[in-house]
Amino acid sequence: MAQVILNVEKDRSTGSSNARRARNNGIIPGVLYGKGIEPESISIAAKDLRDALSTDAGHNVLLELRIDDKSHSAIIKEVQVHKVKRNVTHVDIMVVSTDQEITAVVPLSLVGEPHELTRAGGRLTQTLREVTVKAVATKIPNAVEYDITHMHVGDHIKVADIIEIEGVVIETEPDIIVAVGELPRGAVATESAEQPPAN
């Protein structure tokens, strides 16, 4: 995974009014912490943060963080968003080493077309859209994929069915259902009505 450059500055201002003023001026307050550094307040240009988050890796982007003429490898641990405006209000960034194992939540993407399922009048229902993974910082995948082309009516996928990715451990419980192939309710009801009554 390539690193994305993000410039930040130490933030000496305090108080909610200063933070609000900074956000109004396009500056996002945050906290930087991690291996080998003392936690400290930082500020980031909102546009720079948006650009960093706009890659395929999303919030799991690996950063080359630049502060005070120093560079650190880092990841975004938490992004706080305004409940109404949906704009970023605060960000937590953690310094890591590129060979350090970290935990991240990544999207779960179903790929392919389940032709047999749709031919039978069925539909695919995805019940899990994210999984938790553990890997060194440079190996965190942008997404975990599962091929659904083989699915039929009545099939279900569990986390345990996902093909392993080299160097990546999926920590989500293996018995959790990811997706099911099912008939619409009307079709199920019709089939049930055509069955002979039980003796």
Q: In this predicted model, what pLDDT tens digit does every residue of 68-81 receive, in sequence order?
A: 888 999 999 999 99
Confidence of residue 122 (pLDDT cuts 50, 70, 90): very high
Confidence of residue 1 (pLDDT cuts 50, 70, 90): low
| Residue 93 phi, psi dihedral angles, 5° rounding | -125, 135
C-alpha–C-alpha distance, residues 177 and 126, integer Å:
9
Average pLDDT over every residue of 47-76: 93
% of the chain with per-residue pLDDT over 90: 70
Q: What is the pTM of this model?
A: 0.78
Confidence of residue 132 (pLDDT cuts 50, 70, 90): very high
Residue 86 pLDDT: 84
Question: Does position 194 have pLDDT exceeding 60, yes or no?
Answer: no
The CATH number fitting domain 4-97, selected from 1.10.150.120, 2.40.240.10, 3.90.1300.10, 1.10.3720.10: 2.40.240.10
Pairing between β-strand 70-81 and β-strand 62-67 as defined by DSSP bridges:
antiparallel
Task: Give the residue extent of every domain in the chain.
Answer: 4-97, 103-194
Does residue 4 contact residue 55 with C-beta atoms inside 8 Å? yes
C-alpha–C-alpha distance, residues 12 and 42, integer Å:
8
Own/partner pairs for 75-79, CB < 8 Å, 24+ apart? 75/102, 75/104, 75/137, 76/52, 79/53
Tell me which range, 34-48, 74-88, 142-156, is most confidently predicted by mean pLDDT: 142-156
Question: Does position 36 have pLDDT exceeding 60, yes or no?
Answer: yes
**Mean pLDDT, all residues of the chain:** 87
Confidence of residue 199 (pLDDT cuts 50, 70, 90): very low
Within 25-168, residue ranges assigned H as helices are 46-53, 115-119
pLDDT in tens, 10-28: 976 665 666 677 777 889 9
Q: Which two tokens stand for residue 185?
A: 């309710």
Average pLDDT over every residue of 89-118: 93
Does residue 144 contact residue 162 with C-beta atoms inside 8 Å? yes
Task: Name the CATH superfamily, with its identifier, for domain 103-194.
Answer: Ribosomal protein L25, C-terminal domain (2.170.120.20)
Q: How would you label 155-172 residue by residue, b for 16+ Cβ within 10 Å and e otherwise?
A: bebebeebeeeeebebeb
